[in-house]
Structure 1
Amino acid sequence: MLANGSLTVGGREGEIRRRIVEADLVDGIIALPARLFYSTAIPVCLWLLARDKASGRDRRGKVLMIDARDMGAMLDRTHLALRPEELAEIAGIYHAWRGAPVSEGMSQKPYADVPGRCCAVDLPTLAEHEFILAPTRHVRPAEAANAAPDFAEQFAALRRDLLDQIDRAAALDREIADALARVEVP
């Protein structure tokens, strides 16, 4: 409890979340996009729980965070669906995290954090973040994909394009004037 008598961040829900995390029951959290379910338009998170995090790949003391909010394709104006390849990507990340065997013919890559998609977070880090389990708080953005182009370079390219178009417009105006001068009026 805080000095004013209230519970920590999240109230009773925050206390329950803290106890579940400290008991090391949370294996993974997947942030899904909005409009995925017919009953709600808000984004949701799947909680993956495991009592035995030592089987397969030892995951004790860590939680996998997957940010899949950018996935999916609109089915209609209000509903979204995950594509089969996106589902396979999410499942592949989780299988690699667990060290679980995969279907025959599929190669298993070892788990690795992927900026913009997933990361493993240890329990002390979760405690620092007041046990908030939002993948958006822990998954680093993909820097290369989200990097904004340099303004000076972008402006110089746009300026060159504009000057080229002005020159081309002037040349076309001269051609039109020459063509009109050759027209004989009866």
Structure 2
Amino acid sequence: MPLAFVIANLSRIDRVSSLPLTVDLEGGYGGTLGELEAAFGHLLTTCAAGCNLEDGMPAGGIRSIEDQAGRIGAARKVVDAAAPGFFINARTDMFLRSPSERHADEELVSQAIERARAYQQACADGYFVPGLTDLLVLRTLAQAVELPINVMAGDEAIVGYIQAGVARISFGPLMYLKANDAVSSFAAERL
């Protein structure tokens, strides 16, 4: 989705809500640090109180820890100069891009912990692990890192996430998909 469209949607939502808004800034809308900083500068002209900044790359793959930590650090400098308190939720796509049966793999979990610690040193405020729903792995992450853990809800009960130490639960497209299924079922019953 183009950045201008993201900004326009954010403005539309702000007109009808008094809640603090966060936005999915995807990979930061820039291949270079200068482009990333410009995108954050543009974002800060809006009402946004925070954003997700992912380490996944548009063509596939995951940025190196050092590269993504540098991007988080550059974003932090921009937001601290203009909007102290802006929340940067460092998103890792490691679990989205690996099969769920690998999520408990010790090496993958170690890499996730290493990323979280590096992102924290770069001044991220939270760690978002979409695709990870394994409650034991979530508990391991929550105990191993200081950043609050954010997940994208699956079909698991919310209480399980809370008991695992998750601090923030996003629903992503889940509600839309459930509503779409309900509409499809309703229509199919009448055909």
For the pair shown, the structure with the greater C-alpha radius of gyration is 1
TM-score by length of 1: 0.24
Q: Which has the higher contact order (CA 8 A, sep 6+)?
A: 1
Greater helix content: 2
